C-alpha cells in the first residue's frame, strides 16, 4: 500500500510529461521492441507499462497481437488504459500477480522495460514472470545496469538521481542467477538487456 501510494503521488505530477522527459535517459527500449518483433508471437503482457508508450509502438507494428499490461500505479493504469483502449491493463504487483489472468491465457512474451529497477523484490518478480509464460515463451528485460563504464563523478550523480526516485539498478548477477539465455549491455554499461525462458 505504501509503495502504491508513492507511485501514485509521483506519477500524478509527472505522467503528462513522462514520455518526453524519459526519452533522454531510458535508452535501449526501442532496440528491445525490435528484437521482440523479430520473432513470432501473438500475446504479450508488459509489466509496468507506465504511460503505455511501448504497447502503442508494439500495437502499431503488430496490430493483430493481443496486448496487455500489469501496473501497480492506479494513476498510470488509468492513463495507459485511455491511451491503449485495445489493451487490458490490470492492477497488480510484479512479485505476486497472476500475470496469466491479464489476457486470460499465459502470454508468449512478457516485457519489463525500466520497471524491474523499481520493484521491491526483483528476484520474486523475475520468478513470477517466468512462471506465467506460455510454453516456449520469453521474458525480456531492459533496465539500468551498474553504470560501471561512466566516469566516477557522473556515475555517482546518476546513482543518486535514481535513488531519489526509488530506482535501484539491476544487480549484475541477477540475470545469471535466473538462467538468462542472453545478456548484453549498452554503452558504458548504462543499461542491460536480458532474455529468459519460462521456469521449469
Q: Which CATH number fits the domain that encloses residue 9?
A: 3.40.50.150
DSSP label of 199: -
Helices (H), the chain: 2-14, 18-22, 29-37, 53-61, 74-83, 100-103, 122-131, 152-164, 174-177
Q: For residue range 29-82, what is the model confidence (pLDDT) as tens digits?
A: 999 999 999 999 999 999 999 889 999 999 999 999 999 999 988 888 988 998
**Residues spanned by the domain of 98:** 2-197
Number of Cβ within a 10 Å radius of residue 156: 12
Distances from the Cα of 199 to the Cα of 4, 58, 123, angstroms: 28, 25, 13
Quote the pTM value.
Answer: 0.89
Q: What is the mean pLDDT of residues 13-23?
A: 52
The answer to whether the beta carbons of residues 11 and 76 sit under 8 Å apart is yes
The answer to whether the beta carbons of residues 45 and 69 sit under 8 Å apart is yes
What's the half-sphere exposure (Cβ side, CA atoms, 13 Å) at 5? 2
* Overall domain count for the chain: 1
The answer to whether the beta carbons of residues 114 and 49 sit under 8 Å apart is no
Q: For residue range 111-162, what is the model confidence (pLDDT) as tens digits?
A: 999 999 989 899 999 999 999 999 999 999 999 999 999 999 999 999 998 8
Distances from the Cα of 179 to the Cα of 123, 175, 183, 186, 199, angstroms: 12, 6, 10, 20, 9
Dihedral sign for Cα atoms in the order 185, 27, 163, 69: negative
Residue 185 pLDDT = 97
Q: How far apart are CA 52 and CA 55, in angstroms?
A: 5
Reading the block at residue 150, the C-alpha cell is: 561512466
Q: At what angle do helices 29-37 and 53-61 cross, to 10 degrees?
A: 30
Amino acid at each position: 500500500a505504501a509503495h502504491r501510494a508513492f507511485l501514485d503521488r509521483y506519477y500524478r505530477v509527472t505522467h503528462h510529461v513522462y514520455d518526453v522527459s524519459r526519452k533522454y535517459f531510458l535508452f535501449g527500449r526501442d532496440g528491445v521492441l525490435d528484437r521482440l518483433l523479430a520473432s513470432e508471437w501473438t500475446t504479450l503482457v508488459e509489466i509496468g507499462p507506465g504511460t503505455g508508450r511501448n504497447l502503442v509502438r508494439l500495437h502499431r507494428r503488430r496490430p493483430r497481437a493481443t496486448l496487455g499490461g500489469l501496473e501497480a500505479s492506479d494513476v498510470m493504469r488509468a492513463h495507459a488504459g485511455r491511451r491503449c483502449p485495445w489493451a487490458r491493463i490490470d492492477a497488480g504487483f510484479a512479485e505476486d500477480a497472476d500475470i496469466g489472468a491479464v489476457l486470460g491465457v499465459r502470454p508468449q512474451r512478457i516485457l519489463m522495460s525500466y520497471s524491474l529497477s523499481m520493484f521491491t523484490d526483483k528476484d520474486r518478480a523475475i520468478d513470477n514472470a517466468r512462471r506465467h509464460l506460455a510454453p516456449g515463451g520469453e521474458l525480456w528485460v531492459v533496465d539500468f545496469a551498474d553504470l560501471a563504464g561512466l566516469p566516477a563523478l557522473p556515475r555517482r550523480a546518476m546513482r543518486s538521481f535514481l535513488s531519489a526516485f526509488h530506482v535501484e539498478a539491476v544487480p549484475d548477477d541477477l540475470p545469471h542467477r535466473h538462467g538468462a539465455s542472453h545478456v548484453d549491455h549498452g554503452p558504458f554499461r548504462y543499461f542491460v538487456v536480458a532474455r529468459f525462458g519460462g521456469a521449469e
